[in-house]
Structure 1
Amino acid sequence: MTGRTWKRLIGVTAAATAVTAALMTPAATASPAAAPAAAPAVATTTAAAAADVDYDTWQKDCRAVMDEALPYLKQRIADAAAGEKQAIVFDIDNTTLETDFGFSYPSPANAPVLEVAEYAQDHGVALFFVTARPDIIASATDYNLKHAGYKVSGLYVRNFGDLFRDKAEYKTAKRVEIEAKGYTIIANIGNTPTDLSGGHAEKTYKLPDYDGQLS
């Protein structure tokens, strides 16, 4: 795990702790549905930009991949069999959310990916998120994704046992679980090989990680 990744997780964990504390206040207890709205007030930041990659280049490269994915997804969604439950599986860090270019909480959406996700979710496709983030920040991650505009059908994070498991094996197993729920995974989108290896998706789309510079 890179230094950037540790800094980001420390920042998210701090934010998650603050959100949890807010939820424990009497006001939050009286109105739990409204509590997450307070999360931006406890935002934390850290310098986390990739050393040799500029933001504009990253966005251009992400858009090129999503411009390839969207026509396929539009056609595949239109061709759905009767009763077919379609799903897309996404990674989170530097895939659905911007996390290595000036970290903040809530992290903003990666715009080219959000555009694809919005088309899919507006056409009945379920969005699942499989991440190597630890379960201690599951609630903060779920809030961040929804705040950024994603409709979360399922979020998979690593529990203590998963921390010692190969990431690719862990992520493949989660896609198997999604299929076991009756979904056809029409696309799997991530930015590292461990996000995409192992099958259990009709198509895979790899966003840039610049030889591991982006986690």
Structure 2
Amino acid sequence: MQPSLSFKRKRVRIAAATAAVAIGAGLYTAGAASADHATPRTDKEIPNLTKVEDKIKAYYGDTVDKAGQHYASPDSNYAKQLADIQKKAKAQIERAVKNTTGKKGAGAGAKKPAIVLDVDDTTLLTYNYELQQGFHFTPESQDAYLKSTDMGPVFGMPQLVNWAQSKGVTVFFVTGRDEHQRDWSVRNLKNAGYKPAADRAHFYLKNKKTPPAYLSCGASCTTVQFKSGTRKHIESQGYQIVANFGDQYSDLQGGYATHTYKLPNPMYYLP
């Protein structure tokens, strides 16, 4: 996930180091990779940044093209981990659809099944951008990249999302990207192979200038408040969010989804 400027994204390189070392210790999937802000007592408690970046590259199966651009490999451990998550999610979504459409009287006032997805590192892969910037995000570099370059899809996600739509599931995208990045984001989602329309009714971005009335926190929403408040708004329109996908725990917290799926991302941490 990549939030708007108001989220003051904490993408310092040491966050990447902390997350990557947690993966190496087998802690990531348990949720223990959330940033530890304790002050180190000695240098031995601090992971070596160069070695951590090498581990991140190895995990993503780093490949470099003739132009010197870095890309993740579909044969990487990252891609394999994604495939396991997606397999479980597909089975769960299929059961949810059957339960929704198979119940007697389901047509009378029944909730419509929906899924919600974050954008950065949930539907679109930021790996090439991150390597270009040395894992150092700036709003200016993000704008320049999104305006001129399409990010590739997160491996397997277009297939999962398009399949869900074919089963009658409504797809919503909810991202911390800023409203001024809407057109670039819509273009990228389409070019990356996502068939569901990323129109204004199904694509929610952070709008600091004119926040929607359904968010009581207005322009000062935290990530969790913005995401959960938007999911609440979606459900108020007659939907049941049967699956919520995100690469940060803040994408998933706050309720308003029957199931949540945490996608791997050792490159940065967002509270």
Give the TM-score taking structure 1 as reference length: 0.71
- Match in the other structure for 1:187: 243
1:139 CA drift (Å): 1.4
- Match in the other structure for 1:160: 208
1:166-207 alpha-carbon deviations (Å, 9 max, x no partner): 101110000011011111101001111110001100100111
CA distance in 2 between counterparts of 1:213 and 1:147 reads 25
1:110 CA drift (Å): 1.2
- Match in the other structure for 1:213: 268
- Match of residue 87, structure 2, among 54, 67, 74: 67
AA aligned to 1:61 is Q
Consecutive unaligned residues in structure 2, runs of 5 or more:
1-8, 14-51, 61-75, 131-144, 210-217
SS in structure 2 of the partner of residue 80 of structure 1:
helix
1:143 CA drift (Å): 1.8
SS in structure 2 of the partner of residue 184 of structure 1:
strand
CA distance in 2 between counterparts of 1:86 and 1:196 reads 18
CA distance in 1 between counterparts of 2:197 and 2:249 reads 23
1:88 CA drift (Å): 0.1
Report the more deviating stretch, 143-152 or 187-196: 143-152
CA distance in 2 between counterparts of 1:108 and 1:93 reads 10
- Match of residue 147, structure 1, among 179, 191, 205: 191
Q: How does 1:43-82 map to 2 (within 5 A)?
A: 51=53, 52-53=55-56, 54-55=59-60, 56-81=76-101, 82=106
CA distance in 2 between counterparts of 1:65 and 1:214 reads 20
Structure 2 contact 113–240 (Cα < 8 Å) conserved? yes
1:214 CA drift (Å): 6.4
CA distance in 2 between counterparts of 1:148 and 1:180 reads 30
Q: How does 1:1-215 map to 2 (within 5 A)?
A: 1=9, 2=11, 51=53, 52-53=55-56, 54-55=59-60, 56-81=76-101, 82-83=106-107, 84-102=111-129, 105-150=149-194, 151-152=196-197, 154-160=202-208, 164-210=220-266, 213=268
CA distance in 2 between counterparts of 1:123 and 1:66 reads 16
1:100 CA drift (Å): 2.2
- Match in the other structure for 1:42: none
Consecutive unaligned residues in structure 1, runs of 5 or more:
5-49
Higher helix share: 1
- Match in the other structure for 2:29: none
SS in structure 2 of the partner of residue 63 of structure 1:
helix
1:78 CA drift (Å): 2.1
Report the more deviating stretch, 65-74 or 189-198: 65-74
- Match in the other structure for 1:21: none
Structure 1 contact 87–186 (Cα < 8 Å) conserved? yes
Structure 1 contact 88–188 (Cα < 8 Å) conserved? yes
AA aligned to 1:97 is L
Structure 1 segments (4+ residues) deviating >6 Å: none
Give the TM-score taking structure 2 as reference length: 0.57
AA aligned to 2:115 is I
AA aligned to 1:126 is T
AA aligned to 1:188 is N
1:106 CA drift (Å): 1.5
CA distance in 2 between counterparts of 1:113 and 1:77 reads 19
Structure 2 contact 232–256 (Cα < 8 Å) conserved? yes
